[in-house]
C-alpha cells in the first residue's frame, strides 16, 4: 500500500495532468484558465490579479498579455485615466472557463463516487486537520 502523503501527491499529479490536458483541449493553458476564473464578470486591473493570485506582477503581466493575444480577455482603457487598464473576460474566455470547470467538477465527483456522506465528512475533517498542521510550518 502506498503511504498517505505519497497517495496525495499521486492524486494531485493526476488531477494536474487532467486539468492541463482539459485546458489544452479547450484552447488554453492552466494560466489562461486561472485568469478567466479570477475575472468572472468583474473588470480587474493587473494589480487586482496580483492581489487575488499572490503571483508577482511580472509573471501576471506576461500571462495577461498572452490571454489578451488569445482573445480570452479584453483590454479596456478607463476614460478618466487612459494610463489605467482594466481587463474583462470575453465570450471565448468564458467558454474556456466554463468547460474546464465543468470537466473538473466531473473529475472531482468521480474521485469520491461510491463514498457515503459520512465517509466524505470524515475525510474532510481529517484532510483539513492535516492541512492545518502543514500550514504551521
Q: What pLDDT does 1 receive?
A: 58
pTM, entire model: 0.85
SS (H, E, C) 54-92: CCCHHHHHHHHHHHHHCCCEEEEECCCCCCCEEEEECHH
d(CA 35, CA 73) in angstroms, rounded, equals 9
Q: What pLDDT does 84 receive?
A: 79
- Structure-block grid coordinates of residue 55: 503571483
Q: What pLDDT does 39 receive?
A: 87
Running along the chain, 137 residues long, what does each successive block of 10 average in pLDDT? Answer: 86 97 97 91 84 89 94 87 84 97 97 95 95 92
Amino acid at each position: 500500500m502506498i503511504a498517505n502523503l505519497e497517495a496525495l501527491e499521486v492524486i494531485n499529479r493526476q488531477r494536474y495532468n487532467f486539468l492541463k490536458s482539459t485546458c489544452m483541449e479547450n484552447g488554453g493553458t492552466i494560466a489562461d484558465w486561472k485568469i478567466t476564473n479570477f475575472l468572472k464578470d468583474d473588470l480587474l486591473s493587473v494589480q487586482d490579479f496580483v492581489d487575488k493570485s499572490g503571483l508577482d506582477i511580472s509573471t501576471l503581466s506576461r500571462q495577461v498579455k498572452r490571454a489578451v493575444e488569445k482573445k480570452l480577455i479584453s483590454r479596456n482603457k478607463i476614460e478618466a485615466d487612459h494610463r489605467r487598464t482594466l481587463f474583462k473576460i470575453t465570450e471565448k474566455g468564458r467558454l474556456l472557463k466554463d468547460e474546464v470547470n465543468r470537466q473538473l467538477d466531473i473529475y472531482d465527483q468521480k474521485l469520491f463516487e461510491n463514498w457515503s456522506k459520512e465517509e466524505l465528512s470524515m475525510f474532510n475533517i481529517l484532510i483539513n486537520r492535516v492541512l492545518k498542521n502543514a500550514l504551521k510550518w
